[in-house]
Amino acid sequence: MLRLWILIFMLGFTLPTGGLQAAIPVPVQKAQDQAAGSPSEAAAIAVRRHGGEVLKVQKAGKHYKVRLLTADGRVKEVKVAAK
C-alpha cells in the first residue's frame, strides 16, 4: 500500500502541466465583435484573420465576401459578418 502512495505521489510531479492548462476553455469572440460596418472594415478583419492581400470585397446579404491573395499565390474567399 505504501508503494502505491509513493507511486501516486511521484506521478504527480512528472505529469506535464501544459495538459492541465489545455482543459481551460478559451472564451469565443462573439460574431458582433467581428462584424464589419463597411467594405474596408471587412477587408481589415479578413486580413487580420487570414493574412494576404485584398483583391475584392463584395456585400452579400448579411455578410461581406472578401477575396484574398495568400503569400503562396492562392486566392482565398472569406466571409465577414456585416453590421
Q: Tell me the pLDDT of the chain (83 aa) as tens digits.
A: 777 666 666 656 555 555 444 445 544 333 345 789 999 999 999 999 889 999 999 999 999 999 999 888 889 998 999 98
Which pLDDT score, from 0 to 100, does residue 2 have? 72
Report the domain count for the chain: 1
Residue 34 buriedness (CB in 10 A; 0-12 / 13-18 / 19+): middle
d(CA 22, CA 52): 30
d(CA 40, CA 77): 15
- Domain that residue 56 falls in: 2-81
Phi, psi of 18 (to 5 degrees): -65, -30
